Amino acid sequence: MKEKVILAYSGGLDTTALIPWLKENFDYDVICCCINCGQGNELDGLEERAKLSGASKLYIEDLVDEFCDDFIMPCVKAGAVYEHKYLLGTSMARPAIAKRLVEVARKENATAICHGATGKGNDQIRFELGIKALAPDLKIIAPWRMTDVWTMKSREDEIAYVNAHGIDLPFDASHSYSRDRNLWHISHEGLELEDPAQAPNYDDMLVLGVTPEKAPDKETLLSLTFEKGIPTALNGKAMKVSEIITELNRLGGENGIGIIDIVENRVVGMKSRGVYETPGGTILMEAHEQLEELILDRETMETKKKLGSQFAQIVYEGKWFTPLREAIQAFVDVTQEYVTGEVKLKLYKGNIIKAGTTSPYSLYNESLASFTTGDLYDHHDASGFITLFGLPLKVRAMKMAEAKKNK
């Protein structure tokens, strides 16, 4: 009996070419596994394509809700943003995919998992760290790093290869952006983006929305309801997280929200430029942060921001299945105990504008914050506080003056 390999399958040219390549070079029984994290119509026609290419079986695993609840929401609650801009759309999905690939491998008694990530990117790290953490006994096949066996270097090479194996599929050699899509975002790389001196061709690129210039000349008002840091309703209608993100993607896309052009530092040491569309995620992150402003005390918020940045780096580097990620997430979950309330926002030409935030656990005290403070705050108390708070500065200044005089 042949050994089985689980192929992380998208249906694109790369992973389609991998099916006959794995059979030809390793004599594997190839089982394709496509993980649905919300990539929409990219799943159309996959079963026929996989079988035409020589796969013995295709799994299409619906992971949308698990992706939202177990991977996206921990990042939202942590306020995890990589290098101040990137909302981790691809990074969050990879451990979810790795986890399901391992589960399918166990179900099929496979001995290996194969992925089509290149040797220059972050995804090879994310996939393989996830697999190693969950199934250290499984072999990992990364063809793009096996240059002695994987000799194809272009789309033209891959098309010629599949045609030579009798696979007639609707791929051509025309150039296009390299994209990754799921429910949270879509990323774009390649073409003019490879030159940081060139502006993105947004008219040809955008998938989820429009630029702010092309957004309507009217604002869109919405409200989000949160319970313990998790969104539970949009505009007063109860929805699950995946439904809320889907609708926010529509509203955000229409209003030019969540388009970023970033040169980021990859784990492998190089800089890369990409454009990310994250309309719904940008709105959700902003709403969550606005609610936290009312509820978290100063020291908790400062600590959470530091750990949120570290959490983002952990996720970006593919270290989801680590004790450190679990520990930071446990801290974050404690901070979310009272992050409950309603956030109102206005969307207008790429902008997210505050329109009022309420919470039963708000620490904002109108009496304290107003200029006509009541019994809780005595202006005279500030004198003693400032004297003690500024004491180190005063002592240092006195010492410096004394030293200067003696000199």
Active site members: 14, 94, 123, 178
CB 222 within 8 A of CB 347: yes
Strands laid side by side in the 186-189 sheet? 178-181, 186-189, 271-277, 259-265
Half-sphere exposure of 288 (CA within 13 A, CB side): 24
Kindly give the interhelix angle for 123-134 and 89-108, rounded to the nearest 10 degrees: 40
- Written as six digits, the tokens of 5 are 């390999």
Q: How far apart are CA 118 and CA 143, in angstroms?
A: 8
DSSP 344: E
Q: Are 197 and 207 in contact (CB under 8 A)?
A: no
* CA dist 216 → 65, 145, 208, 212, 405 (Å): 31, 47, 15, 8, 67
Helices 323-335 and 298-316: crossing angle in degrees, nearest 10, is 150
Q: How far is CA 110 from CA 106, 126, 181, in A?
A: 6, 20, 27
